Structures are given as structure tokens and as C-alpha cells.
Structure 1
Amino acid sequence: MNEYRILVVDDEDDLCEILKFNLEMEGYKVDTANSAEEALKLDLTQYNLLLLDVMMGEISGFKMARMLKANKDTVNIPIIFITAKDTENDTITGFNLGADDYISKPFSLREVIMRVKAVLRRTANLQRKESEELQYKGLVINVPQKKVTIEGEEISLTKKEFEILSLLLQNAGRVFSREDILSKVWNDEVYVLDRTIDVNITRLRKKIGEYGKNIVTRLGYGYCFECE
């Protein structure tokens, strides 16, 4: 019996119960909510994964995801979108919101379970300690102290390098475009070129040694921190 907690949010009560039953058979602890409004009343920080329907009432799955990603306490919770909509634009919207996977109805329960296991396995590789410390193996970021250590030895990063590494590690597996990184790290600073991102990434890779290979380039899309 594992200790993973999953929240299923879907306005179809029968679907919630089917998913709850089958995921519990796999050993997960599962709760359900029939709307985003109902889900948002829960302590979402206790969950390791959300299965989130896109097409719901006043607050859609996409809108709820935006709310979670804007909150420092819930930004790291993995999300799998479930929807009857399967157009390319909807899929892109989901991934741009930080979704970890996307399942279109109708789906097989075996597929859902496989995808849940894959996302949990991928995100579990990244150890997070009370949001004050980000850690992947021997690479540790102390967020309050703005300090990075590798195997216990502190390394010197510029402010921008630190913020890029924190952004990528905190959202491991998610691809950030150059525009995303510029908006989050440089904010409203003017005259910053895309090339500036590439230069900072190159320097950062060198400084973090063996972990430099974990910062991967997705040609045509951007950068992400990939856990092995």
C-alpha cells in the first residue's frame, strides 16, 4: 500500500466513483470532488496528484489550474487533465498551464492508471522539503538563503542563474519557452534578448557540473529540468 493521495475533480459523479474505485485498487488514497469550487475548499497541499476535468461549471479545470499554479503552496502539485475535448489547441492550453499529462474521454482505465503511475514516478524523483528547499539528488537549493550546494559544497551563481535554476527545478519536467523565462526571471526589464537566456543557461550548466545535463533543450520549445 503506497501513501500517494489523489484528488479526482469531475462533475460526472459516476466517473469519479469509477476512477476512485480503480485507483484505490492500485493502492492509492483517493478523494473526489464534483466541481472546482468544491475542490478548492479542500486542503490541496495534501495531494500528490490531481485528476482534473476541463469542462466543468463556473470554474473550469483550466481556470482552477491557473489558480493553483499562481499559489506558492500548490504550484508543484502535478495535474493530469481529463476532458472530452481533444483538439490540439486544448492540449497546448493544458500543457502551457503546467499540466503533467492530458487524457481524452473516452479512455481506458488501464491507460489512466498507467499515466498516473508515470506522472507520480516522474515527479517523485524530485524531493521538495517544505517549499523552502528544492532538491534533486545531491543538488540542493535553499530558497530563503538563496544558496545552492552540490554534494554539500556551495557553488556561486548570479541572481539570474539562481532564479532560472529555481524555476526549472521547482517545475521539473515542464518546458519553459524563452519568453516564459524572460517574463518570470527578468520581469519587466527592457532590452533583454533571447540570446541572454541561452548565455545564462550555458553558464549555469557549467557551474552545476554533472547536473548540467539535466537542463535539457527542447528544440523549438525551450528548456526544462529533466529528472532521470
Structure 2
Amino acid sequence: MNKERILVVDDEEDICEIIKFNLENEGYDVSVAYSAEEALKLDLNSYNLLLLDVMMGEISGFKLANTLKNSSRFNNIPLIFITAKGAENDTLTGFSLGADDYIQKPFSIKEVIARVKAVLTRSHVALESNEEVWTFQGLQIDVDGKIVIVDGNKVSLSKKEFEILALLTHKAGKVYSREDIIMRVWNDEDNVLDRTVDVNVTRLRKKIGTYGKRIVTRQGYGYCFDNE
């Protein structure tokens, strides 16, 4: 099973290392970046959660969050702000930029772990219970109604095909490994092979017409939905 990936962005190296060490002990795959500029060079779509320090160099945590929010590729990544500030306005600014939570320094590591777990849990629930209709050009996905419309025509998908499509489009651009897809779509079913994922993706591509080309294979990694 793949570990959930977390990126810590803070210009205080000791803070990064403390958080990294303790979250890794909780079973997470943790990376660090010591500036927003360094973070922007990474594949941010590969992370399940970002922890951002507010006060950093030329690009603050707020500026970085605003950049992510204004990009269709990144605006669904959960964010937790970390800051020494305690002003109410800073908290409100953070939440207005799409923050999922807010941690003030100095903090206890137990608080960080608890908030990380809570945000990731909410993120999973949101994916499973999303009632909005996701739209890309002529492709519409009603997650709650389990309906897919392609250029005005309703398309019949199997349960697994629909769940794969909903997963890939939930975070367009994010690459999901076959193991990720098996874990999320087949849950605890036994003896599900990588080939089973490939077969379902092949059928799905055919059923959604020209949008099938948007389901891209990243050789050696897995699949993603390319909306660029």
C-alpha cells in the first residue's frame, strides 16, 4: 500500500526536520522544502497534503497558497498553514485562501499529527461524498448521481469504470499508481491485478470518446487525467 505523501514547506530547517521525523513515525511519506520557490519546483500533485509556513522569503505561504488556488491543476490539494502569528486577520486570510486548518507556533507535535490526520480524513470523505458535478469541456461527471455525460450524451459505465474516472478527475494532473487505484476502487478485494486496472482503463477510454485521450499513461508510474 502506498503511503500518503506530505510536503512541509518552512524556512526553518529544524522545524521541517522535527515535523518530518514525527510524521514519518506515523507512517507518512514526508518531503521538505525550505522555501516556496523550492516547493514550486516539485511535483506538487504527487502530495496528499501541504504544510505551509506563512512567513517565508520573497514568496510567503499565503502567496504560494494563492498561486495554487488560482491553478486548476493544484486547487484541490489540502493545505495546513503553520505560523508564529496569532492575529485573527491572518487566520481569516489563511482560510480565505482555501486552508483546511491552521497551526500556530509554538505547537506540540501531537497537535500537528492530530490535525494532519483530521485533514486527510476529511479529504478522503470529500472524495467519496462529493455531490458537485465536475465539468471539463463536454465531459460532465455527477459523482453523487453516478452519471457521466459526454458531449450531451449519457454514457453507461460499469461501477469500477466510473470510480476510476471520478478518482482521476478529482485531482486532474495527479498521477495515481495502479496500486493507488486498486486500493481506492477495489478496496479490500483480494487478487486484484495491475492488469485488471489496465483493462478497465482501456474500456473507459473507449466509452468517453475523445476525452479518453485525456487519461494519460505515465510510464512506470500510473495514470492521470490531463486537463491542460
**TM-score of Structure 1 vs Structure 2, range by shorter chain:** 0.5 to 0.7
Report % sequence identity: 62
Q: Secondary structure at the match of 2:72?
A: coil
Q: TM-score, normalised by structure 1?
A: 0.60
Bigger relative contact order, structure 1 or 2 (CA pairs below 8 A, ≥6 apart)? 2
Q: Match of 2:84?
A: 84
- Note if 1:141 corresponds to 2:115: no
Amino acid aligned to 1:102: Y
How far apart, CA to CA, are the structure 2 residues paired with 1:68 and 1:2?
24
Q: 2:141 touches 2:147 (CA, 8 Å); kept in 1? A: no
Q: CA offset at residue 147 of structure 1?
A: 5.2
Q: Deviations over 1:35-75 (max 9, x none)?
A: 00000000000000000000000000000000000011110
Equivalent pair of 2:10/2:53 in contact (CA under 8 Å): yes
Superposition pairs of residues 186-205 of structure 1, within 5 angstroms: none
Cα displacement string for residues 8-60 of structure 1 (whole angstroms, at most 9, x for unaligned residues)? 00000011001000000000000000000000000000000000000000000
Across the aligned residues of Structure 1 and Structure 2, the Cα RMSD in angstroms comes to: 2.3
Contact 2:140 2:148 in 1 (8 A): no
**Equivalent residue number for residue 197 of structure 1:** none
Query: In the alignment, which residue of structure 2 is the partner of 1:123?
Result: 123
In the superposition, relative to structure 1, how do residues 114 and 150 fare at CA in structure 2: closer, same or farther (>3 Å)? Answer: closer
Task: Look up the match of 1:14.
Answer: 14
Give the Cα separation in 1 of the matches to 2:108 and 2:25.
Answer: 15
Alignment of 1:1-228 (within 5 A): 3-127=3-127, 136=129, 139=131, 141-144=133-136, 145-146=139-140, 148=142, 150-152=144-146
Q: Which runs of 5+ in 2 are unaligned?
A: 150-169, 171-228
> Residues 88 and 142 from structure 1, CA distance in 2 versus in 1: closer, same or farther, beyond 3 angstroms?
closer
Query: Where do 4+ consecutive residues of structure 1 move more than 2 Å?
Result: 139-142, 144-155
1:136 alignment partner AA: S
For structure 1, the 5+ residue unaligned runs are: 128-134, 156-169, 171-228
In 2, distance between residues paired with 1:111 and 1:150? Answer: 33
Aligned residues: 149
1:123-143 alpha-carbon deviations (Å, 9 max, x no partner): 11133xxxxxxx636x57341
Matches of 2:19 and 2:81 in 1, distance apart?
A: 14
Query: Does the C-alpha gap of structure 1 residues 89 and 140 become closer, same or farther in structure 2, counting only changes over 3 Å?
Result: closer
- CA–CA separation in structure 2 for the residues paired with 1:136 and 1:97: 23
**Against the structure 1 CA distance between its residues 153 and 6, is the aligned structure 2 distance closer, same or farther, given a 3 Å change threshold?**
closer
Q: How far apart in 1 are the matches of 2:45 and 2:33?
A: 15
